[in-house]
Structure 1
Amino acid sequence: MSVYFPTRSFQIYQTFAANTNLGKTLFSAGLLRAAATHKKVSKLFYLKPVQTGYPVDSDARFVDSFVNSKILNTRTLYSYEKPVSPHIATDKPPNDKDVLSRVKSYIAECQIQLGSNDEGKLILETAGGVNSPIMSGTLQCEFYRPLRLPTILIGDSKLGGISTTISSFEALHLRGYDIPAILLFHDTEYNNFQYLKEYFRKYDTCIHSISPPPPKNSAAEKDHENLRDYFSSTSQDFQAILKQLNEWHHLRFDRLESMEKKTMKKIWWPFTQHQRVKNVTIIDSAHDDFMITFNRNNDSEGAGQVQMKEMFDACASWWTQGLGHGSSKLSLAASYAAGRYGHVIFPECIHEPALDLAEKLLEGVGKGWATRVFYSDNGSTAIEVALKMALKTNLKRNNIKDEDAIKQATEKEFLIFGIEGSYHGDTIGAMDACGPNVYNEKVKWYKPRGYWFEAPTVYLKNGMYLVDIPKSIHPDHTNMTYSVPSFDLIFNQDQPIASDLVKIYEDHIGRILSSCIHSNKYQFGALILEPILMGAGGMKLVDPLFQRVLIDEVRKNKIPVIFDEVFTGLWRLGCRSGADLLGKKPDIATYAKLLTGGLIPLATTLTTESVFENFIGSEKTDALLHGHSYTAHPIGCSVARASLDEYEEFNKNSLHWNTAKSQWAYNENTSDGSNKEPIVWSFWDKEVVHHLSHLPKVKGVMTLGYASNASQAIVKELYSSFTSKNFGIYARPLGNVVYLMTSHITSPTNIRAVEEKLVECIKSSK
Structure 2
Amino acid sequence: MSGLYFPTRSFQIYQTFAANTNLGKTLFSAGLLRVAATDKKASRLFYLKPVQTGYPVDSDARFVDKFVNSKILNTKTLYCYEKPVSPHIATDKPPNDKDVLSRVKSFISECQIQSGSNGEGKLILETAGGVNSPLMSGTAQCDFYRPLRLPTILIGDSKLGGISTTISSFEALRLRGYDIPAILLFHDSEYNNFQYLREYFRNYDTRIHAISPPPPKNNTAETDHENLRDYFSSTAQDFQNILKQLNEWHHIRFDRLESMEKKTMKKIWWPFTQHQRVKNVTIIDSAHSDFLTTFNKNNDNEDVGQAQMKEMFDACASWWTQGLGHGSAKLSLAASYAAGRYGHVIFPECTHEPALDLAEKLLEGVGKDWATRVFYSDNGSTAVEVALKMALKTNLERNNIRDENSIKQTGKEFLVFGIEGSYHGDTIGAMDACGPNVYNDKVKWYKPRGYWFEAPTVHIKNGMYSIDIPKSIHPDNTKMTYFFPSLDSIFNQDQLTTSDLVKIYEEHIRRILSSFIGSSEYQFGALILEPILMGAGGMKLVDPLFQRVLIDEVRRNKIPVIFDEVFTGFWRLGYRSGADLLGKKPDIATYAKLITGGLIPLAVTLTTESIFENFIGSEKTDALLHGHSYTAHPTGCFVAKTSLDEYERLNKNSLHWNLAKSQWADHEKSSTASSYKEPIVWSFWDKKIVHRISHLPNVKGVVTLGYASNASQSIVNELYSSFTSNNFGIYARPLGNVVYLMTSHVTLPDNIRAVEEKLVECIKSSK
Query: TM-score category by the smaller chain?
Result: over 0.9
Distance 1:116 1:749 in 2: 33
Aligned to 2:580: 580
* Partner Cα separation in structure 1 for residue 177 and residue 353 of structure 2: 27
| Cα deviation digits, residues 262-285 of structure 1 (max 9, x gap) | 000000000000000000000000
Which deviations, in whole Å up to 9, do the C-alpha atoms of 1:352-401 show, x marking residues without a partner? 00000000000000000000000000000000000000000000000101
Tell me what 2:383 maps to. 382
Code of the aligned partner of 1:614: N
Question: Kindly tell me: are residues 131 and 303 of structure 1, through their superposed partners in 2, closer, same or farther at Cα, counting changes over 3 Å?
Answer: closer
Distance apart, 1:519 and its partner CA: 2.1
In the alignment, which residue of structure 1 is the partner of 2:26?
A: 25
C-alpha contact (below 8 Å) 2:708/2:739 kept by paired residues: no
SS of the residue aligned with 1:156? Answer: coil
Q: Secondary structure at the match of 2:563?
A: strand
| One-letter code aligned to 2:375 | F
In structure 2, C-alpha distance between the alignment counterparts of 1:668 and 1:209, rounded to whole Å = 69
Write the distance in 1 (CA, Å) between the matches of 2:408 and 2:375: 29
- d(CA) in 2 for partners of 1:81 and 1:601? 49
For residues 44 and 626 of structure 1, what CA distance do their matches in structure 2 show?
61
Q: What does the per-residue CA deviation read over 1:567-614, in whole Å, with 9 as the maximum and x for residues that have no partner?
A: 001000000011111110000000000000000000000000000000
2:642 is matched with 642
Deviation at 1:89, TM superposition (A): 0.7
Give the conservation status (yes or no) of the 8 Å contact 1:34–1:238. yes
Structure 1 residue aligned with 2:656: 656
Offset at residue 707 of structure 1 (A): 13
User: 1:39 Cα shift?
Assistant: 1.5
| Residue 496 (structure 2) aligns with | 496
Retained in 1: the 8 A contact 2:466–2:484? yes
Q: Does the Cα contact within 8 Å between 2:592 and 2:602 map onto a contact in 1?
A: yes
- Counterpart of 1:369 in structure 2 is 370
Partner secondary structure for residue 106 of structure 1:
helix
SS at match of 2:330: helix
Cα deviations across residues 480-517 of structure 1 (Å, max 9, x unaligned)?
A: 00011110011011111862211000000000000011
RMSD: 1.8
1:116, CA displacement in angstroms? 3.5
Tell me the amino acid that sits aligned with residue 80 of structure 2.
Answer: S
SS at match of 1:523: strand
CA distance in 2, matches of 1:589, 1:50: 51
Q: Does the 8 A contact of 2:118 with 2:303 survive in 1?
A: no
Contact conserved, 1:526 with 1:561, CA < 8 A, in 2? yes
Does residue 1:337 correspond to 2:327, yes or no?
no
Match of 1:621 in 2: 621
Tell me, yes or no, if the aligned pair for 1:438 and 1:706 is still in contact at 8 Å. Answer: no
Q: What are the within-5 Å matches in structure 2 for residues 436-515 of structure 1?
A: 436-496=436-496, 499-515=499-515
Distance change >3 Å, CA 62–CA 84, structure 1 → 2: same
Aligned to 2:434: 434
Residues 539 and 701 of structure 1 are in contact (CA less than 8 Å); yes or no, is this contact kept in structure 2? no
Shift in alpha-carbon separation, 1:638–1:692, aligned structure 2, 3 A: same
Amino acid at match of 1:569: G
Rounded Cα–Cα distance in structure 1 between residues aligned with 2:325 and 2:503: 44
Which residue matches 1:753?
Answer: 754
d(CA) in 1 for partners of 2:709 and 2:501?
Answer: 32
**TM-aligned CA distance change 1:403 to 1:430, over 3 Å:** closer
User: 2:525 matched to which residue of 1?
Assistant: 525
> How far is 1:296 from its partner?
2.6
Assess if the C-alpha contact under 8 Å between 1:309 and 1:722 holds in 2: no
Report how far residue 41 of structure 1 moved: 1.5
Q: Which residue pairs with 1:684 in the alignment?
A: 685
1:208 aligns with 2:209: yes
- Residues 247 and 437 (structure 1), Cα distance of their counterparts in 2 relative to 1, 3 Å cut: same
- SS at structure 2 position matched to 1:209: strand
SS state at 1:571 partner = coil
Give the conservation status (yes or no) of the 8 Å contact 1:490–1:497.
no
Q: TM-score with structure 1 length normalisation?
A: 0.98
State how far apart, in whole Å, the 1-side matches of 2:373 and 2:117 are: 61
**Shift in CA distance, 256/493, structure 1 to aligned 2, threshold 3 Å:** same
Structure 2 partner of 1:177: 178
Deviation at residue 77 of structure 1 after TM alignment? 0.2
| 1:697 CA displacement | 1.2
Cα distance in 2, alignment partners of residues 688 and 303 from structure 1: 39
Q: Paired residue for 1:276?
A: 277
Structure 2 counterparts to residues 550-565 of structure 1, below 5 A = 550-565=550-565
CA–CA separation in structure 2 for the residues paired with 1:303 and 1:243: 22
Cα offset, 1:300, TM superposition: 4.5
Q: In structure 2, how many angstroms separate the alpha carbons of the residues matched to 1:482 and 1:303?
A: 58
CA deviation digits over 1:687-725, x for unaligned, max 9? 1111111111111049xx999983100000000113796
Give the Å deviation of 1:115.
2.2
State how far apart, in whole Å, the 2-side matches of 1:435 and 1:570 are.
27
Question: 1:141-191 deviations in whole A, cap 9, x for unaligned?
Answer: 111111100000000000000000000000001000000000000000000
**Structure 1 partner of 2:251:** 250
TM-score calculated relative to the size of structure 2: 0.98
Deviation of 1:315 after TM superposition, in Å, equals 0.3
Aligned to 1:295: 296
User: Is the CA contact (8 Å cut-off) linking 2:154 and 2:183 kept in structure 1?
Assistant: yes
Match of 2:10 in 1: 9
How far apart, CA to CA, are the structure 2 residues paired with 1:585 and 1:4? 50
Question: Is structure 2 residue 94 aligned with structure 1 residue 96?
Answer: no
Whole-angstrom distance in 1 between the partners of 2:161 and 2:754:
48
Relative to structure 1, the CA distance from residue 476 to residue 506 in structure 2 (aligned partners, 3 Å threshold; closer, same or farther) is same
CA distance in 2, matches of 1:208, 1:593: 43
C-alpha distance in 2 between matches for 1:292 and 1:204: 21
Match runs of 1:157-176 below 5 Å: 157-176=158-177
TM-superposed deviation, 1:305: 7.3
> 1:319–1:383: structure 2 CA closer, same or farther, 3 Å change rule?
same
Which residue number corresponds to residue 739 of structure 2? 738
User: By how many angstroms is 1:403 displaced?
Assistant: 5.0
Tell me which amino acid in the other structure corresponds to 2:426: D
Of 689-698 and 417-426, more deviation after overlay is shown by 689-698
Aligned residue number for residue 223 of structure 2 = 222
Q: Equivalent residue for 2:694?
A: 693
Q: Describe the superposition over 1:303-337 as per-residue Cα deviations: whole angstroms up to 9, x where unpaired.
A: 99771100000000000000000000000100000
Q: Distance in 2 between matches of 1:433 and 1:701?
A: 28
In structure 2, what is the Cα distance between the partners aligned to 1:512 and 1:714?
40
Change (3 A) 1:723 1:466: closer
Distance 1:275 1:12, change over 3 A: same
The C-alpha deviation readout for 1:99-126, integer Å capped at 9, x for no partner, is: 0110000000101101241410000000
Structure 1: unaligned runs, 5 residues or longer: none
- Tell me the percent identity: 87
Q: Which residue of 2 aligns with 1:544?
A: 544
**1:638-693 deviation digits (Å, cap 9, x = unpaired):** 00000000000000000000011011112347998521110010001111111111
Residue of structure 1 in register with 2:413 after alignment: 413
Rounded Cα–Cα distance in structure 2 between residues aligned with 1:516 and 1:673: 53
The alpha carbon displacement at 1:194 in A equals 0.2
What is the DSSP-based 3-state SS (H/G/I as helix, E as strand, rest coil) of the residue aligned with 2:483? strand
Q: Given that residues 358 and 637 in structure 2 are in contact (C-alpha distance below 8 angstroms), is that contact kept between their aligned partners in structure 1?
A: yes
Query: Which deviates further from its counterpart, 1-10 or 324-333?
Result: 1-10
Structure 1 residues 607 and 725 mapped into 2: Cα distance closer, same or farther (>3 Å)?
A: closer
Which digits, 9 at most, give the CA deviation of each residue in 1:540-579, with x for residues without a partner?
0000000000000000000000000000010000000111
